Structures are given as C-alpha cells and as structure tokens.
A and B are shown apart, each in its own frame.
Chain A
Amino acid sequence: MRDGLQMDDRSIAGVDDTILVTGAAGFIGSVLVEALLAHGYRQVRCLVRPGSSLLRLDRALRAAGPRIDLVKGNLLSRADCLTAARDAAVIFHLAAGRGEKSFPDSFMNSVVATRNLLDAAVQADSLRRFVNVSSFTVYSNREKQHGRLLDESCPVESRPDLRGDAYCFSKVKQDQIVREYGDRFGVRYVIVRPGYVYGPGKPAITGRVGIDTFGIFLHLGGSNRIPFTYVDNCADAILKAGLIPGVDGRVFNIVDDDLPSSRQFLRQYKRQVRHFRSIYLPHAVSYSLCWLWESYSRWSQGQLPPTFNRRSWHAHWKRTRYSNTRLKTELGWSPQVPTMEGFRRYFASCQGQRRHA
C-alpha cells in the first residue's frame, strides 16, 4: 500500500468494494486504475468503449488479472450503464467527449453519457460517491485582474455557448447535471478540475502555451504560469477525492507545485524534444486578435467560426496564478512526482516517440 493515505482508516470504500472507473483506457484513467490497484482495491471495474485501444491499460491488466473487471460498453446505452454501475461504491467518471469540435457530439458524449451513468447509479443504490472529472476550462477567469489567483471559488463560465469551444460547453453542463443529481436525488459527489494533464504518451503542447493552427507556432503564453499536473499526481488527487471521507459536494482544482512559465516550458521543449520556429505574441496583441476574430465572426454570421474570442483569451492566455491549497489541506495531497522529474519523464517520452516516428 502506498504511503500518504491509509485507506483502511480514511476511505469511504473498503478494498473489496466495487470501484468503477469510466474512461479507464484513457490517459488519466489507466493511471488511476493502477493507483487503485496499488492501494489494494480488489474489485476495480473498468468501463471502456468497444473498439478502444487497451494499450494504456495493458500493464494494469497484466499485473492485476482478476482484480480488474473489464466492461466494454457505451455510456450512451442505459443498459451498459446499469451493468457498469451495479454495486459500485465509488464511481470515478473520467470518460468524456474530448477532441470533438461539434457541440452536439461533445454534449452527447459528456452530458447525456453522465446523466445515463447517474441514473444507473441512482437505480443501483450502492453509490457512496460520484467523482466527476471536470476541467479548468469551465472557469471564466474574466471578472478578475491580470495575474490574480484562480481557485475553486472563481466563477464558472456563465455563457459557455459563447466560448466557441464545444468541450468547455459540455464540461460546464456536465458539472451542472452532477450538481442537479446531488440536489434532486441526494447523489454524493465530488468535482475535480485538473489543469493541463501531461506525461509520457501525450506529446501535444497545450494551447495555453501556444497554437500552430496557422502554420507557424504562435507563442501566446509568454510569462504566464501554465497549470500543469503530471498524470500520476493528477490520478492520485482524483483517487483521494473519491475515497477520503467528509468532502462531499466539494470542488478541487488539480495543479502541481512549482509551475513553469509558458516561456520556460517552450524553451525546454525546444531544447529537449525538437526545435521549431515560434513567434511570441504579447498579451495585448493576442487579446486584440481574439477581439478582431470574434467581431469578424459575428459580422460575417459565422463565416469564420468563433474559435478565438475574448472569452477564450481570458480562459487560456490571461496571466493567472493557480492554487492547490484546498487539495493539500482537505485531501492531504501532495505531488508524488516533482515537477522537474515530471518534465524529465515527459521530454524523454517525447524524444522516444520522435525516434520511433
């Protein structure tokens, strides 16, 4: 058993209780499954989509064998949800409609899927906690000054439909439906909001650093701190949020300590992974461009979709500080993998992928 959390004493679930992880074959889900197994849980049910690659889950499957109950199903199927939620004491809900540009597709795979799972959990009547994995993207970050702290008390986007980001819209609505089920059916839940989760196997550079949409990398982050969290640290935080008693209804942001600035990250990435040309756009310039794009999109009735707008600028590129105080004080979390070590592993993995490409 890992140190830092004595599950037998401080867990709402015993080691023989059924723990359901949706999105178990994903980047965070697979690490969370390993963490649960490492903590001694013997009934870990992994819900994966039919056709999903099980590559990431492979290590856990080989190590744990019968302790993992692999369920292939789709959260859009109520029958599959009932199968998955049966007897589950804790549900870690990580599955989401990521990477969908279409609002309806993203909404269906996030919100409708979550509602189906919640309905199944209510019906199963065994649930002690529902851990909803949300995202930093839900914060509006508008009503505060440049450089101010973003924590769990900050307001969520009030008009996510205007962000021009299907994922943001879906995540805001997903959080809402979880709260609604908490109020209406007494579902005990915790909402966790990871920053940008990085680690081996996820080579992409977060849009908070910059974008390469226009053929050249536009560096937009500058001196901003980037809310990174290493995948192991993130999974550990999610695990604690699901198991530690006394935190029902709470929201936890997940970010690591010693966050690098966007410029520091980019410099290291270029040095250690690959060099590419980038142009830095100062904040005033990127804000103006977002405003221009937004205005043109409106004026042209959507000839260009409103992908870049002032709301997205505030959410992604405004200078902001981040806090993990609540995570540390209420859950006793601390990053197991220091930021330096996390980036060392991440860059090594990116180098490896380039060599094999």
Chain B
Amino acid sequence: MLKAAIVGCGKIADAHALQIQRIAGCEIVGVCDSEPLMARQMFERFPIRAHFSDLAELVAAARPDVVHVTTPPESHFKLARFCLEHGCHVYVEKPFTLHAADAAALIALANSRGLKVTVGHDDQFSHVAQRMRRLIASGYLGGTPVHLESHYCYDLGEAYGRVLLGDRHHWVRRLPGKLLHNIISHGIARIAEYLHGDSVEVITQGFVSRQLRRLGETEIVDELRVLMRDDQDTTASFTFSSQLRPTLHQFRVYGPRNSVILDQDHETLLTIPGTGFKSYGDKFFPPMLMAKQHLANLVTNAKIFLARDFHMKSGMKYLIESFYRSVSDGSPVPIPYREILLTANLMDSIFEQLAAKPSSRLADDDRSDRQAAFRRA
C-alpha cells in the first residue's frame, strides 16, 4: 500500500484527491494546509486518515511515501525540499519551481537521496496526448520534428479576472512571470518534450492586452508569443493569449514527412499526411479523410467514456499512476528530469526577456508614437 499525502488544500488538491482515489493500492494518509480550516474541509470530504496544519507534523505522524505539493508556486521549492529531506517522493504541481536553479537543486537533492520527483504537467498524460506520443514514437513524422506549435490560451473570465485585476496584492502578481508563470508551463512542457539539448534560443514578445489596459491593468502580461530553436534546428512557437477565441489548447508537431495536430479541449488527434492527391483529388479526398478522422476520434472518446475513464482530469490519474509505479518498482519517472529542467529554463528565459524589454509592453500611446516615427522614417 502506497501512502500519499497532500500539502495545500485548495482547488487543485481536490483534483489530486479524486484521482488518487481512482488508483488501486494507495491511500491518502494525510492532508495539510497552513489554514487549519482548509485542511479540515478536505478531510471531511474525502477518505483521508488525518489532517494537519504543519507539514513537519504530517510527515512525522502520517509517514507518507509520496507528498503532493499543491500550494501556490512561491512555496513549491521550500516544501518539496523539506519533503525530500525527510525521505518522501514528491509530486509538485506546475510550475515546478519559480526558477530553473531551484528545479535543478530539487532534482539533485532527489537523486542524492534516491528519491523521485515529478511535476503536474498532467495534460501530457491525457488519453489523446498518450495517443500522440505513441504515434510519434512509431515514426509517423518521418524523422526529427521540424517545427512545433503550442497554443495555450486562457480565458481570464469575469470572476477570476475581477479578483486578479482588482487585487494589487494577489499572489499571482508576486510571481516573476505573474499570470504567465502560473499557467503557461503546460504549453511550454509540450514543446520541451520534443526539443533537443539543453541550449535553446528563445525570442519573446509579450504585452498587456488592450482589454486589460482598458481596465487599468499595466503589469499583467496576458499576450505572449515565443519563438524557439534548439541545437538540432527544430524550431517551436508558443502562443499564450487571454483574448483569442476559442481559448485554444493545441499542439502541432510538423515532421519532415507527416504532421500531427492534438486538440486538448476536444480530445482529438489528427494526422496530416505529407503526400497529397493528384489534381482535383487534392480538393476532395483530404476533407473526406479528415472527416473520417474526426469520426474515429468521436468513437474513441465515446468508448473511453463508456469504459468510465474519461474524467476531466484523467491525464492526472495516469501521471500519478505512472509516478507511483516508478516509486514502487523503480521504473523511470513519467516526466524525464531533462524535460522538467528544460521547461524551467525556457520559462526563465521568457520571463527574463519580458522583464528586460519593457518596450514589449507598450501602451497604446507609445505604440502610436513608434508607428508614427516609423512612417516618418
């Protein structure tokens, strides 16, 4: 029996508890939150042995094998380090840490203690993401990816937007990448999986959208475009937008022979063959074949639903399950440490460039001035 514990009893902790419950052979032995009421409410709603308001007490009393860190990102490093130092494997919600150096330190600590860590990039373990991974591993692309495109959008929404924009002390504002820091790692991690080496060139453009500027916001960057190139000339582009509709969560991988498109929201995977049809055949057969693929996706999704495995966070279940397996039988961790580190490094680069280029967050007037100057020139 694998003993799990959760530290941080907010919204995402519920998802963890629900998915841990679905995994055979494990038990939640404790939950912890610095706010005792929050720990208690979670304890009352799930089959959990005990609740705590102090992590040291939890670790000492419940003696978990794995601790899930589901607190706001600022505390990830400190809490994960504490758990590793006390002999627990650690699952850290995204973003893994605030800085790549902290990520490297945690991984080094885990390795030195013979423990394991992973990060909550659960989207990469959804049914459709697993299908895509298998397809690419089978050689469908016809070689190393030529280009990757990741869209990870976010609808700020009325409620969250109002809270975040209205609260000058909201914890999201304290993150180096602010709103982006809390959200984009899912989309960046998808790219990191298919980039090579540790040295990736990054060019970033980010700005505060017109809508947010109209609301008086000046520091929350909610439009981000990033270009990347690795040492094997695989390129990637990343788009984050709060304005774009629909709020895309897509990943496209273009290979030298064929390409694939993953749509996370609709759980669909489409293959784009590199070869076409002759003459007018190219106008009629591809749409037909595309319709067939959509139908196949529908059937696949329906089958998974009927098999009771189409939960909204099913990717999290598979990630947790794989991580627990790696803890139990020594198999490799589900997310290679290279990917965790590369994701952290890419995010560091993006936020450093945003911080260094305030011109990328031009207000309307500044932009108009620059455009006028450009026209004069």
Contacts and interface: CB of A to CB of B under 8 A. Distances in A.
Contacts of B165: 51
Interface stretch (B37-45, B186-194, B197-205, B278-286): B37-45
Interface in A245-288: none
Interface string B242-266: 0000000000000000000000000
A303 B310 contact: yes
A186 interface: no
B163 A111 contact: no
A343 B82 CA distance: 60
Contacts of B37: 107, 111-112, 115, 177
B311 A50 contact: no
A177 B38 CA distance: 13
Interface string B154-171: 000001001101111000
A153 interface: no
Interface string B15-34: 00010011000000000000
Interface residues of A, number: 24
A105 interface: yes
Contacts of B310: 303
A161 interface: yes
B162 A51 contact: yes
Interface in B189-230: none
A314 interface: no
A214 B44 CA distance: 31
A39 interface: no
Interface stretch (A96-104, A195-203, A229-237): A96-104
Given A51-B163, A300-B308, A303-B308, A104 B168 contact: no
B187 to A, nearest CB: 23
A284 to B, nearest CB: 28
A301 B22 contact: yes
Interface in B165-179: 165-168
A74 B167 contact: yes
A303 B302 CA distance: 13
Chain A interface, DSSP helix/strand/loop, else mixed: helix
Contact of A303 (B38, B167, B305): B305
Contact of A105 (B10, B18, B162): B10
A104 B6 CA distance: 14
Interface string A287-319: 000000000000111110000000000000000
Contact of B45 (A74, A103, A299): A103
B372 to A, nearest CB: 34
A104 B166 contact: no
A48 B128 CA distance: 44
A301 B305 CA distance: 12
A18 to B, nearest CB: 25
Contact of B11 (A99, A104, A161): A104
A321 interface: no
B35 interface: yes
Given A161-B44, A161-B45, A302-B18, A102 B166 contact: no
Among B13, B21, B22, B167, residue most surrounded by chain A Cβ atoms (within 10 Å):
B167
Contacts, number: 62
Interface in A142-190: 161, 169, 173, 177
B166 A50 contact: yes
Contacts of B35: 108, 112
* Size range of the chain B interface in the assembly: 20 to 34
A303 B311 CA distance: 5
B305 to A, nearest CB: 7
B206 to A, nearest CB: 23
A104 B42 contact: yes
B69 interface: no
Given A51-B167, A301-B308, A104 B18 contact: no
B347 to A, nearest CB: 26
A301 B17 CA distance: 12
A285 B27 CA distance: 38
Contacts of B309: 303
A173 B10 contact: no
Among A50, A51, A74, A300, residue most surrounded by chain B Cβ atoms (within 10 Å):
A51
Among A99, A300, A303, residue most surrounded by chain B Cβ atoms (within 10 Å):
A303
Contacts of B163: 49, 51
Nearest to B37: A112
Nearest to B314: A303
Given A104-B38, A303-B308, A50 B168 contact: yes
B39 to A, nearest CB: 11
Nearest to A114: B37
A329 interface: no
B365 to A, nearest CB: 25
A48 to B, nearest CB: 10
B311 A105 contact: no
B9 interface: yes
Contacts of B45: 103, 161, 169
Nearest to A107: B41
Given A104-B38, A105-B10, A107-B38, 4 more contacts: A104-B42, A112-B35, A299-B308, A302-B18
Interface of A: 49-52, 74, 99, 102-105, 107-108, 111-112, 115, 161, 169, 173, 177, 299-303
14 contacts: A50-B166, A51-B167, A74-B167, A103-B14, A104-B10, A104-B14, A107-B41, A161-B44, A161-B45, A173-B41, A301-B18, A301-B21, A303-B310, A303-B311
Interface of B: 9-11, 13-14, 18, 21-22, 35, 37-38, 41-42, 44-45, 159, 162-163, 165-168, 305, 308-311
- Top 3 closest pairs, chain A to chain B, by CB: A51-B166, A300-B308, A161-B45
